[in-house]
Amino acid sequence: MWIMGMTQEEKQLLIKDLCARLPYKVKVEAFPYVDPQILCSIDPIRKEFRLDFGEYRNIFATNWAGEEYSIVKPYLRSRDNMTEEEYLKYSETRDWRYVDDDHYEYFDTLETFDWLNEHHFDYRGLIPMGLALEAPKDMYKIE
């Protein structure tokens, strides 16, 4: 749903984030009182989100151009909820670099962001901004 007072920058941040998550079947809320749907595509020309309702394989488009329409909110996982095993895998994607005298630091890589998207973690702070919803435990079963 439209969030009262959502700025153009917040809308663009949300759309940018959702585009990066498309290959990973991110679940979204687009309508109140309806189960989460998988986001299939985003059409920036028509300003539409296409949603997959699962078992019926219905594809439905919802438009974000006007106030009477809805904008989807992704279900994301807080990084605080990362398991120890996930943290180890996440750490493997990071690059260990020399910064200065006897000082090394971890840096995120493109692989890191792909991994975070694949595992549905909120690394942009969308949940605290009200632009995403906290995913219920076990919503995303990653094998």
Question: Do residues 105 and 36 lie in contact, with contact meaning Cβ atoms separated by under 8 Å?
Answer: no
What is the C-alpha separation between 41 and 60, in angstroms, rounded?
Answer: 10
Which pLDDT tens digit goes with each residue over 116-141? 999 999 999 999 999 999 999 889 97
Which pLDDT tens digit goes with each residue over 53-103? 766 555 566 655 554 445 688 999 999 999 999 999 999 999 988 777 778
Scored b (16 or more CB within 10 A) or e, 110-136 reads eebeebbbebbbbebebbeeebbbebe
Q: What is the pLDDT of residue 57?
A: 56
**Among 85, 132, 84, residue whose Cα is nearest residue 123:** 132
